[in-house]
Amino acid sequence: MNQEAPSLSVKPLGCQRATGSGQWRCAFEVTNQGKAPLQVLSTWLPHDQFFSERRSLEQPLLVEPGESAPLEVEVTFTGEPGVAVVNAFLIMQVEYGNQSWRMFVRLLPMMQPDGTPSVTCEAITVQPIGFSAAPHPG
């Protein structure tokens, strides 16, 4: 069964200090640009300098086609002021069109001189869960 892949945009909305040293609540606006409802089931930020444990959402975030919804993630950010953290990702598991997908949102977080993080979204790639590439010959 060949289904349409989800299409979405993710816009960083800013970060606010949370409890604990280096802890931040970072907000994103998720916009569903596809034709079917999209549900965000879990999030994970695996980079050691911009990190959040894999977290299943108690209530999946439902985003209808053409709509946007806020997503908040608590992260540990250990960046130095003025230095960008490369290859940081927000990974989301989503349901779209009766199929499970992983969304890889490549981020560029940077600690500002005033000590607050800023985040830029650089790219988004999508992969169906259960996808496997053909074995490499040789």
Report whether 63 contacts 30 (CB < 8 A).
yes
pTM for the complete prediction? 0.89
* Domain edges within the chain: 8-128
For 136, phi then psi, to 5°, come to: -80, 125
Question: What is the pLDDT at residue 1?
Answer: 45
Whether domain 8-128 has CATH 2.60.40: yes
pLDDT at residue number 7? 95
Q: Which regions of the chain are under pLDDT 50?
A: 1
- Euclidean distance between CA atoms 135 and 6, whole angstroms: 26
